[in-house]
């Protein structure tokens, strides 16, 4: 990406984008070549810091592993971020799925079981804002794209305490999810099991997998709000410039 691309995507002035890019390049998060800027491996340190310091992940992971052994299917932990479900932990079963999901994958919340469970924790006002801004896409023949239908499915997830998505994200994939709650903050995550539609029916997910999910959820719920990593004081030298950015930082010595 170029500086202009970043400025347009973020919605800031080109000079401001240039300063941010310069700082990120200095810190080792970006590199530059003839095609523009790209991420460097240092960005993985940020993800590692999150994964290693988040209390919920440490508590939930062994229960996900046990769930996979019991159910024989892949299990995941997701959180809600900017209207999407983001996978923060995943334990794979020795089976082939129709979608490649890794830690960090972000999927549209309205089209997934985990997403609807997470959205069910929003207040009515927050849900209204989410739906107003939503531009749903028809990912499969089962994807709901009518906002009122999406609201109904989210409301159902709230009332019954779980949600099932039957080939809504991709053909051949079924998933069932339950919320992970915290006494202080409500729904903080969702646990799900996903399986190939030719192998596991929707009824089997409800009758066989759901009870195991509820047990894993109960064991994973923290007794206090999960600790979130908070970065503390950096000192970033501001006396550098890159001619290709067309900017000169002037905070030297401050």
Indicate if 76 and 197 belong to the same structural domain: yes
Could you give phi then psi for residue 131, rounded to 5 degrees? -70, -35
Indicate if 78 and 23 belong to the same structural domain: no
| Predicted confidence (pLDDT) per residue in 36-89, tens digit | 888 888 887 777 666 666 677 888 889 899 999 999 999 999 999 989 999 999
- Give the global pTM: 0.73
Containing domain of residue 156, as a range? Answer: 55-220
Query: How many C-beta atoms surround the C-beta of residue 13 within 10 A?
Result: 10
Is residue 225 one of the residues assigned to a domain? no
| Predicted confidence (pLDDT) per residue in 88-143, tens digit | 999 988 876 656 788 889 999 999 999 999 999 999 999 999 999 999 999 999 99
Indicate if 7 and 132 belong to the same structural domain: no
Is residue 111 one of the residues assigned to a domain? yes
Is residue 95 one of the residues assigned to a domain? yes
pLDDT of residue 231: 32
| Distance linking the first and last C-alpha atoms of the chain | 30
Indicate if 25 and 147 belong to the same structural domain: no
Please give the Cα distance from 46 to 216 (Å, whole number).
28
Indicate if 89 and 158 belong to the same structural domain: yes
pLDDT of residue 95: 75
Please say whether the beta carbons of 149 and 124 come within 8 A: no
Indicate the number of domains in the chain. Answer: 2
Indicate if 195 and 244 belong to the same structural domain: no
Is residue 50 one of the residues assigned to a domain? no
Please give the Cα distance from 54 to 229 (Å, whole number).
7
Is residue 47 one of the residues assigned to a domain? no
| Predicted confidence (pLDDT) per residue in 206-226, tens digit | 999 999 998 877 666 655 444
Q: Is the pLDDT of residue 30 over 60?
A: yes
Indicate if 32 and 84 belong to the same structural domain: no
Please give the Cα distance from 67 to 73 (Å, whole number).
8
């Amino acid at each position: 990406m170029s500086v202009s691309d970043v400025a347009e995507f973020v919605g800031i002035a080109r000079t401001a984008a240039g300063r941010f890019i310069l700082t990120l390049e200095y810190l080792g998060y970006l590199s530059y070549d003839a095609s523009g800027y790209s991420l460097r491996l240092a960005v993985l340190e940020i993800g590692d810091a999150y994964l290693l310091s988040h209390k919920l992940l440490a508590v939930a992971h062994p229960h996900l592993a046990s769930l996979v052994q019991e159910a024989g299917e892949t299990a995941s932990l997701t959180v809600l971020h900017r209207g999407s479900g983001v996978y923060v932990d995943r334990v794979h079963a020795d089976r082939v799925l129709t979608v490649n999901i890794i830690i960090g994958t972000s999927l549209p919340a309205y089209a997934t079981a985990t997403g609807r469970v997470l959205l069910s924790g929003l207040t009515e006002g927050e849900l209204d804002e989410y739906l107003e801004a939503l531009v749903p896409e028809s990912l499969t023949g089962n994807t709901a794209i009518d906002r009122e239908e999406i609201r109904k499915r989210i409301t159902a997830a709230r009332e019954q305490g779980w949600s099932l998505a039957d080939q809504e994200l991709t053909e051949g994939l079924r998933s069932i999810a339950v919320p992970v709650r915290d006494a202080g903050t409500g729904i903080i995550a969702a646990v799900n099991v996903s399986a190939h539609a030719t192998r596991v029916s929707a009824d089997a997910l409800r009758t066989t997998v759901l009870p195991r999910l509820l047990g894993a959820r109960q064991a994973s719920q923290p007794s206090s709000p999960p600790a979130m990593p908070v970065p503390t004081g950096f000192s970033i030298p501001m006396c550098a410039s890159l001619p290709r950015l067309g900017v000169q930082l002037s905070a030297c010595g401050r």
